[in-house]
Amino acid sequence: MKRACCVLLSLWLLLGCCGFVSASDDEPHTHIYGDWYTSVDPTCTAEGEERRDCEGCDAFETRPVGPLPHAYGDWYTSVDPTCTDEGEERRDCENCTAFQTRPVGPLPHAYGDWHTTVEPTCTDEGEERRDCENCTAFETRELNPLPHSFVIDPAVPVTCTTAGKTQGEHCELCGATKTAQTTLKPLGHAVLDENGDCVLCGAHVKDLCPYCHKDHSQELFGGLTAWFHRLFYRVRLLFQKG
């Protein structure tokens, strides 16, 4: 038993001299940390991590590293614009599924040629229209009225028994009058003498009064009126001859 105790004591002294057993193990230890290094690489969707280790023990410290910015590629058209709706451009991150979009303005209308939809007249404006080749949009504009196309209305000679008309002008497109025709009353027979011969048309109207150029045959006291008028006519002729 005494020999075993001596062996243990010798072994303890030997370990103490080699540094494996120290009387100061219970004293506080000051960590001496090395440089920070990346332990978890950050991405554009997740934070990374940096770490530094104690040079004298297994202790270590960590700190977060912010996410990387997205690595967006070039913009490309994802929705084609039209003349009625906006389009869309998009760019994608090369490292993840993130993307950005931005609107693209509508295209201008592609109008065709003007064509007449309402013909103009001399009294009303017309209309022209042009249509977009890609949608139902259209534009209109007014057409000026046409000028009047005037034609001559020939005069109608007046006679002893029929009315006449003066020369006039009217538009052959709309009927508008530029110069109105005036109706001329019949001249009535112009009696040459008491026999009733008309000096204008040569008609013989025996009952026509040579003085007032009226027919008194149907009048009350027409015969007496006709006798006096013939007398007045003769007197007028005498004065004209004298």
Same domain, 119 and 142: yes
Q: What is the pLDDT of residue 138?
A: 95
Same domain, 132 and 179: no
For residue 168, being part of any structural domain is answered with: yes
For residue 126, being part of any structural domain is answered with: yes
For residue 169, being part of any structural domain is answered with: yes
Q: What is the pLDDT of residue 205?
A: 65
Q: Where are the beta strands (DSSP E) in the chain?
A: 37-40, 48-53, 60-65, 76-79, 87-92, 99-104, 115-118, 126-131, 138-143, 150-153, 164-165, 168-171, 177-179, 183-184
Q: What is the pLDDT of residue 102?
A: 96
Q: What is the pLDDT of residue 17?
A: 46
- Nearest partner of 86 among 76, 97, 78, judged by Cα: 78
Q: What is the pLDDT of residue 69?
A: 95
For residue 153, being part of any structural domain is answered with: yes
DSSP designation for 135:
S
- Given a contact cutoff of 8 angstroms between Cβ atoms, the answer to whether 183 and 222 are in contact is no
8 Cβ contact list (under 8 Å, min separation 6): none
For residue 25, being part of any structural domain is answered with: no
Q: Could you tell me the residue range of the domain that residue 57 belongs to?
A: 34-69
Q: How many domains does the chain fold into?
A: 5
For residue 53, being part of any structural domain is answered with: yes
- Which residues in the chain show pLDDT less than 70? 1-27, 188-197, 199, 204-208, 210-211, 213, 215-218, 222, 237, 240-242
For residue 49, being part of any structural domain is answered with: yes
